[in-house]
Amino acid sequence: MSVQIITSHDAPAFAVVPFDEWERLQERLEELEDLADARNLSERIASGADETFPDEFAERLLSANSPLKVWREYRGLTLAALADACGVTAPAISQIETGKREPSASLLKKLAAALCCDMDDLIV
């Protein structure tokens, strides 16, 4: 690498490198940042701080009319179990899943907590 050092007050102030070398340095820095991000994500997944989902689950979420039902089934909960966890009735959960009823913000928060997901994940 050919570098020209420019001094100011007898101290290095700037380093000038040919443009093609500068581009290579930038590419390498981006690669290193990507590797650090990947390591961080792997650690978060291993520690349980982040969760991964199977393709089938993602496909169901994308094609379903009721993300609530997809999340409930993915978590292995019955209508009754989810209703108990949220302090409502099973028919109330069923009505939300079928689109006959909209959940209040308070109930939506309880549903998200019971399903370990974000409130946004439950909205069509």
Read off the pTM. 0.71
What single DSSP character describes residue 99?
A: T
Instruction: Write down the domain spans for the chain.
Output: 4-47, 55-122
Q: What is the pLDDT of residues 16-65, one digit of tens each?
A: 999 999 999 999 999 999 999 999 999 999 999 999 999 999 999 999 88
CATH class of the domain defined by 55-122: mainly alpha
pLDDT at site 1: 77
Q: What is the pLDDT of residues 65-91, one digit of tens each?
A: 899 999 999 999 999 999 999 999 999
pLDDT at site 64: 80
Tokens of 73: 């089934």
